[in-house]
């Protein structure tokens, strides 16, 4: 029974309530970083790591520090601090280990701190009343769902450079059109499949 619940939570974060296409969270990096697959891959990896770790650390912080001391009202601020610390860790590692990726991500890597998808995952874990395992599964699956959509979008945008597109539609309008089509596909396909 517990495995069924975890699988359901995993599919929910991955496809059914996808943060980018269904809940429209994290769109700044979605539009900004998906110009090429390499940048989208690096950003997605960083977001998966931060979402999974933020879900883990925030659950422990909320359950074992904020609730026992009756300071639940500090949840939002404490979650933001946790996310900011994790992003600093990721930024440090990427800058030292993969400098080319660090340069290609530019301003978008520090913006994970304010990425509403990461904070949304943590807040949804809390509001859904998930236990530790469920929080980790949801955070990880939400990050993987983010990755799937980022890579799909980057692939489509890269391939569309070979297509003759009117100049008035190139760039941001084209990105929003592609995002609309992907969102319609996700809504129509994944909402009809019962889990």
Give the chain's residues under pLDDT 70.
1, 190-195
pLDDT the model gives residue 194: 54
Q: Does some domain include residue 1?
A: no
Q: Does some domain include residue 12?
A: yes
pLDDT the model gives residue 193: 53
Q: How many distinct structural domains can be found in the chain?
A: 1
For the range 175-183, what are the long-range contacts, defined as Cβ-Cβ under 8 Å and sequence gap of 24 or more? 175/31, 175/34, 176/31, 178/153, 179/20, 179/21, 179/27, 179/30, 179/31, 179/153, 182/21, 182/149, 182/152, 182/153, 182/156, 183/21, 183/22
pLDDT the model gives residue 93: 87
Instruction: State which residues form the domain around 14.
Output: 6-184
Q: Does some domain include residue 130?
A: yes
Q: Does some domain include residue 195?
A: no
Q: Does some domain include residue 44?
A: yes
pLDDT the model gives residue 102: 82
pLDDT the model gives residue 28: 83
pLDDT the model gives residue 190: 61
pLDDT the model gives residue 114: 77
């Amino acid at each position: 029974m517990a495995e069924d619940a975890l699988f359901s939570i995993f599919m929910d974060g991955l496809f059914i309530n996808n943060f980018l296409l269904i809940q429209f969270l994290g769109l700044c990096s979605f539009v900004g970083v998906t110009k090429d697959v390499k940048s989208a891959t690096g950003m997605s990896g960083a977001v998966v790591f931060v979402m999974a770790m933020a879900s883990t650390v925030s659950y422990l912080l909320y359950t074992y520090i904020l609730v026992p001391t009756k300071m639940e009202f500090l949840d939002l601020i404490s979650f933001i601090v946790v996310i900011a610390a994790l992003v600093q860790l990721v930024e440090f590692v990427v800058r030292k280990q993969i400098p080319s990726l660090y340069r290609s991500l530019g301003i978008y890597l520090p913006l994970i701190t304010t990425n509403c998808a990461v904070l949304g995952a943590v807040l949804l874990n809390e509001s859904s009343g998930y236990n530790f395992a469920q929080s980790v599964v949801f955070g990880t699956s939400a990050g993987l769902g983010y990755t799937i959509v980022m890579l799909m979008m980057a692939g489509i945008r890269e391939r569309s450079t070979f297509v003759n597109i009117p100049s008035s539609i190139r760039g941001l309008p084209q990105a929003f059109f592609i995002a609309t089509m992907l969102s319609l596909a996700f809504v129509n396909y994944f909402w009809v499949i019962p889990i």
